[in-house]
Structure 1
Amino acid sequence: MCTSATYKTNDFYFGRTLDYEFSYGEVVAITPRNYPINFHFIGEVKNHYAMIGMAHIANDYPLYYDAVNEKGLGMAGLNFVGNAKYYDVDEDKENVAQYEFINYILSQCASVKEAKEKLKNINITATQFNDNYPLAQLHYIIADKESCIVVETMEDGMHIYDNKVGVLTNNPPFPQQMFMLNNYMGLSPKQPENTFSQNEKLDFTQYSRGMGALGLPGDLSSASRFARVAFVKMNSKSSPEENSSVSQFFHILNSVDQQRGCCEVAEGKYEITIYTSCCNCDKGIYYYTTYDNHQITAIDMHKENLDSDTLVSYPLITTENIKYQN
């Protein structure tokens, strides 16, 4: 299970959590402009936009979970189990294997507008990376500073939705997630007024701060995480400076953090927030924390040679760094 969000101050930010019961050995990967990307159907592309993101690297191929390209376009794939559907090869369309979809869009599109045009002729195929990597059942969020969309490929075809809240979790499908926000339209960051009854004998007391958000779900289901992170994101305030913006973004996603022991997926196995990411899409700086390391780590793609043909990767720092003051 996962949660993705966008945030905008002076710059545009994009990131996600990865919630799972084990790690696949993720690294922060930088794909320079001249690193050859071998697409299953269209062949090798040697010149493309550079990108940075979280990936599992297999046979020198970055299988991105989330990434941002040098033009400021971000994309992430989130679990969509039971609803995701991929297709047979269609000779009348541009066939793209499921595992390379993020690479395909970010290597060629500079904006959501360009991605929408590409998507008109894309057919996402049920093609595995190899026998050791089964198809991941995902749907996708694609965003830039101007707009955000969700892409879902299902039994009845590909659906592209405008995403006005800039949030995505997992099931149910995106339109249902948005519809369920109707249940929370009465929530507010302000203290509530008594609208329960006009009976003056009913003397209600605001016995706590934060009562305007009573009813905001706190469980770990994907529908509840969607509502909670949408509420937090849409009401977030921070100064526009980088440190404040990045800090606030992590607070937004930390509102749906998963702690070991609270979500049992099998006997003795628990889903946790393996990592949380935040990328400044304008500056190409990728920030992350991990479950056992709350210190924010930053990697700047522009400090690498983006005209190179060599893949760059940084292993995650996964042990806690505690600063002693005495």
Structure 2
Amino acid sequence: MYQNAKGNWFLARTMDFSFELGGRPVVVPRNFHFKSDADAEGFDTKLGFTGAGRDLNGYILVDGVNEAGVGAATLYFDGLAKFAEETEADKINLAPHEMINWILGNVTSVAGLKAKINDVNIVAVANDLFKMVVPLHWIVADKTGACVVLEQDGDGMHVMDDPAKVMTNSPDFQWHLKNLNNYVQLKPTSHGEKTYGEFKSDAYGLGSGALGLPGDYTSVSRFVRAAFIRENTEKADTTASSINALSHILNSVEIPKGVKADDEGGCDYSQYRGYMSLDEGAYYMQPYADQTITRVALTPAVLNADKPTEYPLQSEQQFNSVN
């Protein structure tokens, strides 16, 4: 999350995966009915929302923002996520990959999410694209600056306030917060001189305050790096300059193709960056291939449409507005 000089809040993310997800900007209108892989009855949404998604016999979104100013994103929770084995008759039964649709379609604030989350039963149902139960956890924020992380493990659902305003993949969120205690020496200004016996050492140039900031591509290191850079990046004045600032912050954790490979010949890379302007109710998508930023706004026409609206990514100019 990021707050600009005018007090407006944003939620931004990189989508890092080796499998080509093929997502593009989508607007889901108000009062929409979704099919569900977990329940034959499906589920209903009330609010319109926009984000990155794909039509897989029904749209699945992985991040986005709704008309009430709530933003949400999925992140990988490999090795730790544990979901219900069976549906429950008195609850809203969802597959893990359907949570973003339900949240953005029904939640008007983080406080409202906390009140409603016990009505949801997340069922261990496979995703058709991956042919597996996708291990996920979620970050959810609203335009007041409230931010929570949702994690479901063997002990059930945990809804945790996020004071750092940052989240990455596994391990669990509380571990990431505790790990920040190992980096209390980080600061944007330089360290002073230090005496070793009769020798006085001094840093070569500015930037020594960030000595020890981890630079690798693990989720652990990217959490620390994002937290430090987010905390110390200056506040922009406008929405456009805020998106630009977020782009530079995410530059620090973006994964180029080839540097994070697995043993099977694949490699994770940042397929796109998504920027959710919570006060504005707009979604900005920046793909890896050309870095052009496409903006999708929640206008009355798309909010009241009878079906979702999907847009090709725009490449003509930065901040090209789709209405």
Taking structure 2 as the reference length, what is the TM-score of the superposition?
0.90
Q: Is residue 274–residue 286 contact of structure 2 (8 Å, CA) maintained in 1?
A: yes
- Residue 46 of structure 2 is matched in structure 1 by 48
Q: Deviations over 1:81-100 (max 9, x none)?
A: 11111112234544332222
Alpha-carbon distance in 2 for matches of 1:302, 1:281: 14
Classify 1:192/1:154 alpha carbon distance in 2 versus 1 (closer, same or farther; 3 Å): same
Does 290-299 or 86-95 show the bigger shift?
A: 86-95
The answer for unaligned runs of 5 or more in structure 2 is 319-323
Equivalent position to 2:243, from 243, 246, 252: 246
Alpha-carbon distance in 2 for matches of 1:44, 1:260: 37
Alpha-carbon distance in 2 for matches of 1:131, 1:32: 24
Alpha-carbon distance in 1 for matches of 2:226, 2:178: 15
Classify 1:48/1:92 alpha carbon distance in 2 versus 1 (closer, same or farther; 3 Å): closer
- Residue 296 of structure 1 is matched in structure 2 by 293
| Residues 129-278 of structure 1 mapped to structure 2, 5 A cutoff | 129-130=127-128, 133-146=131-144, 147-194=146-193, 196-197=194-195, 201-278=198-275
1:8 matched to 2:3: yes
- Residue 98 of structure 1 is matched in structure 2 by 96
Q: Is residue 34–residue 309 contact of structure 1 (8 Å, CA) maintained in 2?
A: no
Alpha-carbon distance in 1 for matches of 2:221, 2:45: 42
Q: SS state of the match for residue 134, structure 2?
A: coil
Q: 1:186 corresponds to which letter in structure 2?
A: Q
Q: 2:166 corresponds to which letter in structure 1?
A: V
Q: 2:261 corresponds to which letter in structure 1?
A: E
Q: Is residue 238–residue 244 contact of structure 1 (8 Å, CA) maintained in 2?
A: no
Q: Is residue 192–residue 202 contact of structure 2 (8 Å, CA) maintained in 1?
A: no
Taking structure 1 as the reference length, what is the TM-score of the superposition?
0.89
- Residue 22 of structure 1 is matched in structure 2 by 19
Alpha-carbon distance in 2 for matches of 1:169, 1:201: 44
- Residue 3 of structure 1 is matched in structure 2 by none
Classify 1:170/1:183 alpha carbon distance in 2 versus 1 (closer, same or farther; 3 Å): same
Classify 1:171/1:51 alpha carbon distance in 2 versus 1 (closer, same or farther; 3 Å): same
- Residue 324 of structure 1 is matched in structure 2 by none
Equivalent position to 1:124, from 122, 125, 128: 122
Deviation at 1:47, TM superposition (A): 5.7
Alpha-carbon distance in 2 for matches of 1:208, 1:82: 43
Deviation at 1:161, TM superposition (A): 1.0
Q: Deviations over 1:110-165 (max 9, x none)?
A: 00000011113322111235586422111110111331000111122111111011
1:57 matched to 2:52: no
Alpha-carbon distance in 1 for matches of 2:306, 2:90: 32
Q: 1:62 corresponds to which letter in structure 2?
A: Y
Q: Is residue 35–residue 308 contact of structure 1 (8 Å, CA) maintained in 2?
A: no
Classify 1:131/1:190 alpha carbon distance in 2 versus 1 (closer, same or farther; 3 Å): closer
Alpha-carbon distance in 1 for matches of 2:317, 2:278: 27
Classify 1:145/1:131 alpha carbon distance in 2 versus 1 (closer, same or farther; 3 Å): closer
Q: SS state of the match for residue 234, structure 1?
A: helix
The answer for unaligned runs of 5 or more in structure 1 is 1-5, 322-326
Classify 1:134/1:304 alpha carbon distance in 2 versus 1 (closer, same or farther; 3 Å): farther
Alpha-carbon distance in 1 for matches of 2:275, 2:26: 14
Q: SS state of the match for residue 167, structure 1?
A: coil
Q: Is residue 68–residue 281 contact of structure 1 (8 Å, CA) maintained in 2?
A: yes
Classify 1:162/1:47 alpha carbon distance in 2 versus 1 (closer, same or farther; 3 Å): closer
Q: Is residue 262–residue 270 contact of structure 1 (8 Å, CA) maintained in 2?
A: yes
- The size of the alignment, in residue pairs, is 313
Q: Is residue 73–residue 100 contact of structure 2 (8 Å, CA) maintained in 1?
A: yes
Q: Is residue 45–residue 102 contact of structure 2 (8 Å, CA) maintained in 1?
A: no
Q: 1:8 corresponds to which letter in structure 2?
A: Q
Q: SS state of the match for residue 149, structure 2?
A: strand
Q: Is residue 284–residue 302 contact of structure 1 (8 Å, CA) maintained in 2?
A: no
Does 110-119 or 297-306 show the bigger shift?
A: 297-306
Alpha-carbon distance in 2 for matches of 1:320, 1:263: 30
Q: SS state of the match for residue 270, structure 1?
A: coil
Classify 1:136/1:81 alpha carbon distance in 2 versus 1 (closer, same or farther; 3 Å): same
